[in-house]
Structures are given as C-alpha cells and as structure tokens.
Structure 1
C-alpha cells in the first residue's frame, strides 16, 4: 500500500477511531488542563503572596503575551520551514522547565515579581511557537473534510479544561499553596511532550528552493491575510476585541479578589461554571452553522460576546448579585466566542495553502495577540490612574465596538463562507 493510500484509508475512518489523532488529543487535553491551573495560580501568587499592584499585574500580563508582538511574525516564517510537531515538542519542554523554576524559588525564599516576569516571558515565547504550529498542524493530521470536526473536538477539550482547570487550581492552591500548584502544570506539559513524540503526521517539509528571505516570506503571509476581504474583517474584530478584553482581564484578579472580596476558590468556581458555556458552544457550533450558515454565525456570535461584556463591570454596581452576574457573563461569552473561533479558524485553515499555514496563523496571531501586551500595560496605568472598575468599563465599551467590523459587512448576505477553490 502506498503512503497516499494509507493516508486516504486513515482519513475514511472517524476521528474517534483515529489513534494518531487521539494520541495528540489526549496530550493536549492534559496540557490545557494544566495551563488553566497556572493561569489561576500565577496571578493569585502575585496578588496575594507577593502583594502585586495594578501596575505590576499589568507588567506580568504583558510579559506573558509580549512574544506575540515581538517574535510572532518571524516565528511564522521559521515554522513554515520546520516540522511543526517537532517545534511543539521543544516548546513543551521549554515551558515545563521554565514553570518548574517558580516553586523552587518560592521554596528557597527567593521568589520576586521580576522572576515571574522572566518566567512569563519565556513561557510566552515558547507558547508562540507552540500555538502557531498547533493551528498549522491539523491539516497534516486529518483530511480537509475533518478539519472542522478536529477543531471542534480540540476546542471542546479546551473548554472542558476551562471547567476543571480553575476548580482544580483553586483546590490545589488551598491545599499546597499557589507556587506548588504550578507543579501540576509542569506535569501536564511533560505528558503533552510524550504524546507528541508518539504522534505521527504526514506533513511534507517545504523544498529548499521554495524559501525566500525571511522579510519577503513575512510579507507574503501578511498579504495573504489582508488581501482577503473576509479575513481582514475577522482579524480587525478579533484584534479590537482582544485589545479591549485584555484591559478587563488584566485587572480581573484584583477586581475579584480585592474589589469584590472573593476567595481564590470562588474565583476558580466562576471560571469553571462560565467555561461550561464554552463546552456547550463547541458542541453546538456544527448545529448552529447548519441552521444559520457559516458566514452568518460570525457576526451573530460577535454581537453576543461583545454586548455581554458589559455584565463584568456591572457586577461592581450590584455586589449582592455579583456572583451570578459573573457566571452568566462568562457562560455566554465563552459560548459565543467558541462559536466564533471554531467557525473562523476552520475557514482560514481551509482556504490557506499548506506552504502558507504557519505564516497565515502567525500573521493573525501577531495582529490579534500583539495588541494584548500593549493593552495589559495600559490596564496597569489606567487602573492606577482611574481605578479598576472604570478601566473595566472602558474595556467593555471597546468590546461592543469590536463587533461592528463583522456585523457591518458581507457576512449576512453570504450564508456560507467560500472554500479554497473560490
């Protein structure tokens, strides 16, 4: 049997019977669970154990996502020259080692905020390479018609991790303290590392004569993204949304732990209950897309996740019902963001040539994640100057504005998004 026949035979099977995909999926499920534990443990450590100020929390968040702004574009060009699974393996190793330093420094009594900045920066760089490779690897694991199903399964797993991760993180913080809860994340990155070693793909490395200067290849990726009128609108909405939501998210630990007086465990419960909406969104996306159309699902979800953002700062006005308001906001936001993300991610993976996948994803990540360190720093400054709640209102209004780029446009008239041939 030839290699192409073997790939075709594997493609005919359900993903539930595809052991190769299931190996990758299981490793990512554990890594995503661990990532959620760290996302809760690190800000709790900074706010409650190291007494971080609004500005310091802003620096910490900015350090975690600065890599998308600094190395996001060249990373895409480099990744298009490399085997993406190998990039992910090395990225997992780097993240595990970097995070493992935190509990060691705490145990030795040496941990300071600048250590957290450094760890966040290293983990952020590794995450850039991992995420761009991750989004570009799927087409080499499954057939084109299974890309949406694979994305749906991976996103559903991510939401399950969002449900269990914060709750597990809150429990671990209560039992062993935040620094040592991070060790759980280290273990899950090691598990992902092993799963990737066991996964096989059919990616064909780019020929040496298909490579140009780095700047030329970066420009090719950017032109591909912004030369498509639909991708251009999607990227603009996502960038403005991420800019605005980061203003709110950066100060969220201070808002919940100090302004509302909630415990880390309650904070974890809010995230977990809200993430059930993400899981429901991942499951419901295929049904919604069939009913209203792939193209219309994008502006419809944009309206919902932008408007519901106003419930977050509104919780400070009604502290008696703050908990259910926060849960409702997180639930609806997670549901609709998943509908939006699965739909637009499948679209852009489907229409992009294989040789451009890394640069396409890196170009989009540069635009939509590159704004986040800027927003995190702005959140620290605005939180110090105006206060936490006013800053979160600014973020909420910005999220409402973000939806306009897909709401006012061609999506309503299309129903279905074009495919690669179009």
Structure 2
C-alpha cells in the first residue's frame, strides 16, 4: 500500500494491466468480446426489426405493438422451465448454441424479403423464436458470470460488461440508421445475424468450463421450478427487485412500442435521425456504466437501485413534449437519462441477485426473476399498441413515462432502501 501511495505521489502511471482489471483475464476478455458482438447485433435488431414492419410492410400501431409482444413473449412461455433446464447443463454450451441458432433465425428475414415471401406473420414467427432463444441465452449468461470471475469480482464484471453494452447501444443504432437508409431494414438484419454468429464462435474459445452438473435419476421439473420460485419469493430484497423490474419493464415496453412510430410518423425523422436519437440512449448507458461502481459506493448498493429510477425516469416526458425540429434532440436527453439510470440500477441489482444466490440455484433464480420481471413485457407491447390506437403515440409515451417513475415503489418500500453493501455470504 505504501509503495502504491508513493507511486501516485510521484505522478508515476500505474501499469496498464492494473487499470484493465478483469480484462487481463483471457477468458473474461473473450466473453467480453463475444458479448460485444452479440450486443451489437441485438441493438441493430432493436431498430431494424420494427422498421421492417413500419417502413417495409406498413404495419399499423397495433401490429407494431404485437411485434414487440412476440419479441418478448419467450419469457412468459419458457421463463420458468428455462432456469431448471439450464441448471442441468453447462452454461457456456447453452450460450454458444443459442447464439448460433439465433443467427440462423434472423437470416431468414432478408432471405424471405429477397424471395418476395416476407409477411408480418413471418416477422412474428421470427420474433417469437428469437425471443425464446434469448431467454435461454440470458439465463445461462447471468449464471455463468459468477463461475467465470468469482463472486468477489461480480460488481467489476457486471460493470465492465455494462460499459461494453453501452458502447454497442451507441454504435448499434448509429450503424443501423445509415444501413437501413442505404440497403433497407430487411438487409440490415444480415449484420445482426453475423454479429450473433461471431459471438457464438468466439465463446467456443473460452477455456474455463464449469463442471457438468450432477445428473439425477429423479429430476422433477415441477419440483425444481418450485424450489427456484420459493427461494426468490422468500427473500424480500430479491422479491422487491423482481417486482420493481416488472412494473418498469411493462411501462418501458409501452413507451418503446410507440417511440419509433412517434419519431417516424409524428416527428418525421428518417432512419438516420432515428438512429441518432437512439444513440443518445447509448451515450447515457455508457456514462451510467462508467459511473455505476462509484455511484453505488457513495450512495449505497441498495439505495441506488430505487434512486436511479426516481431521478431519471421522469425526464422521459421530454419526448412527448417534442415537436418536429431541434426539440426532439433535446428530448433525447430524457432517453439518455433513462438509460443512464437503468444501467446504474441494473449493475447494482444484478450483483445483489448473484451474491445472494447459491451456485446450484443461479439458473432458476435468473429464470424466476426474468419470468416475473419480463413476463409483463408482451402485455406491455399489446397495451402499447392498443393505447397507440386509442390515444396515439404521444399519449402512450405519457403513460409509459408515468408508469416507469412509479416502478421505484417496490424497492423503496423494501430493505434495499438502507442496504448499503452487498451480502458477504451467499444463501445456503
């Protein structure tokens, strides 16, 4: 410690390896790179898939909302059993296989477009299949990180991965906007497919593998699902995080389902302008990832979970107040703030969830929280579409902003309000 202090006092720069932290680890570095490629593909999907429906197939508001529902319905369909199944398998293998199959699934959209076969029903089917595969990938991904980096480095690992995801949140829409304008939304999905394929291939090179879970001759899916549910529901902090996320995600999807409709039809933005607005969200997410550890340390790991949403969610009302012209880019500040607060919150709450869960239940914890937290997302898409048909895109953005702000209540009313540090011991 004295030597480190003397080095700082003399103005000598610390070795680059010290600043890299977990990135010095070969396997984490490869997971980091694989995640970057997969997330880049995912961010392009976020812009390109709805624009295939809006611009190429001229879908109405309800049809766009239904497409959003299909994208996220996987959590409702397989959310709970996915955790039990993943806990029986090596997480790395699940990540690789789902990445490669998602890549092939997305590839069918540009192929169908070029063959003149693409319809809204085709989009719905691809969105649903992609969403189901994403559930398995995400459950395995969250469960794999504690094994790869160790529980003592969870906050650093989550923070670095969030930083990278934030960078792709900027670069994805920035890349997708011009690509959609140049080659069309269907062809742009080729980039998404390639990103996910490369992500899966890179994950194959990760050397550190978990021990294969012990096989039981008496596997009972229902009992395993029940064990995961019971574990999450009996912990007040885990329960509050899950419920807060459920409310937030419901209204976020209502908001997002009409955001592109609002920008394209009411503001009159072209794909490049839409990509620029969404890139602002990525800038906020990047800043949030860079600040997450510092903010959580100063504010407290628990309090930051509800404060981050309380401070940033109300700013999303700037978007429905916008009019064609410069004001829409001012309104993008609200979206950037939403992303900033969301990343700060997710880094802290993900570390809480992982630290409080024993290894054998990580998959089921992740699947249970995802099932409840994301289970309302398909409903959010349908409500967003229905609300858009009745109140218009602008009215739906107002409703979404109010609902996201109210999502702070479950966490505020829980022990997280005063829990300043992560648990030091995982549950038995």
TM-score tier, shorter chain, comes to over 0.9
Task: Tell me, yes or no, if the aligned pair for 1:243 and 1:371 is still in contact at 8 Å.
Answer: yes
Secondary structure at the aligned position of 1:71 is classed as helix
Out of 356, 359, 362, the residue aligned to residue 354 of structure 1 is 359
Out of 238, 241, 254, the residue aligned to residue 234 of structure 1 is 241
Q: Deviations over 1:114-148 (max 9, x none)?
A: 11001101111110110110111001111221111
Q: Deviations over 1:353-394 (max 9, x none)?
A: 000000000001101111000111111122112222222222
Distance 1:398 1:44 in 2: 25
Distance 1:69 1:150 in 2: 28
Distance 2:265 2:141 in 1: 36
What residue number does 2:81 align with? 74
Out of 364, 383, 388, the residue aligned to residue 369 of structure 2 is 364
Task: Tell me, yes or no, if the aligned pair for 1:352 and 1:420 is still in contact at 8 Å.
Answer: no
Task: Tell me, yes or no, if the aligned pair for 1:309 and 1:399 is still in contact at 8 Å.
Answer: no
What residue number does 1:173 align with? 180
Out of 119, 132, 143, the residue aligned to residue 126 of structure 2 is 119
Alpha-carbon offset, residue 320 of structure 1: 4.7
What residue number does 1:413 align with? 418
Distance 2:278 2:296 in 1: 26
What residue number does 2:107 align with? 100
Out of 133, 137, 148, the residue aligned to residue 141 of structure 1 is 148
Alpha-carbon offset, residue 270 of structure 1: 0.7
The more displaced of 375-384 and 345-354 is 375-384
Alpha-carbon offset, residue 200 of structure 1: 2.4
What residue number does 1:267 align with? 274
Out of 306, 312, 326, the residue aligned to residue 313 of structure 2 is 306
Supply the RMSD in Å over aligned alpha carbons: 1.6
Alpha-carbon offset, residue 414 of structure 1: 2.8
- Ranges in structure 1 where 5+ consecutive residues have no aligned partner: 1-12
The more displaced of 21-30 and 354-363 is 21-30
Task: Tell me, yes or no, if the aligned pair for 2:308 and 2:344 is still in contact at 8 Å.
Answer: yes
User: In the alignment, is residue 183 of structure 1 matched against residue 190 of structure 2?
Assistant: yes
User: In the alignment, is residue 43 of structure 1 matched against residue 29 of structure 2?
Assistant: no
What residue number does 1:387 align with? 392
User: In the alignment, is residue 109 of structure 1 matched against residue 112 of structure 2?
Assistant: no
Task: Tell me, yes or no, if the aligned pair for 2:355 and 2:423 is still in contact at 8 Å.
Answer: no
Alpha-carbon offset, residue 319 of structure 1: 4.4
Alpha-carbon offset, residue 153 of structure 1: 1.0
What residue number does 2:15 align with? none
What residue number does 2:165 align with? 158
Distance 1:420 1:235 in 2: 21
Q: Deviations over 1:60-113 (max 9, x none)?
A: 111110010011100110000011111111101111111111111111111111
What residue number does 2:336 align with? 331
Task: Tell me, yes or no, if the aligned pair for 1:302 and 1:407 is still in contact at 8 Å.
Answer: no
Alpha-carbon offset, residue 321 of structure 1: 4.5
Distance 2:21 2:421 in 1: 24
Task: Tell me, yes or no, if the aligned pair for 2:358 and 2:426 is still in contact at 8 Å.
Answer: no
TM-score normalised by L of structure 1:
0.93
Secondary structure at the aligned position of 1:237 is classed as helix
What residue number does 1:4 align with? none
Number of equivalences:
408
Q: Deviations over 1:331-373 (max 9, x none)?
A: 1111110000000001111110000000000001101111000
Secondary structure at the aligned position of 2:421 is classed as coil
Q: 1:101 to 1:256 in 2, by over 3 A?
A: same
Task: Tell me, yes or no, if the aligned pair for 1:96 and 1:187 is still in contact at 8 Å.
Answer: yes
Q: 1:314 to 1:420 in 2, by over 3 A?
A: farther
- Ranges in structure 2 where 5+ consecutive residues have no aligned partner: 1-19
Q: 1:193 to 1:417 in 2, by over 3 A?
A: closer
Distance 1:261 1:202 in 2: 50
What residue number does 1:3 align with? none
User: In the alignment, is residue 196 of structure 1 matched against residue 229 of structure 2?
Assistant: no
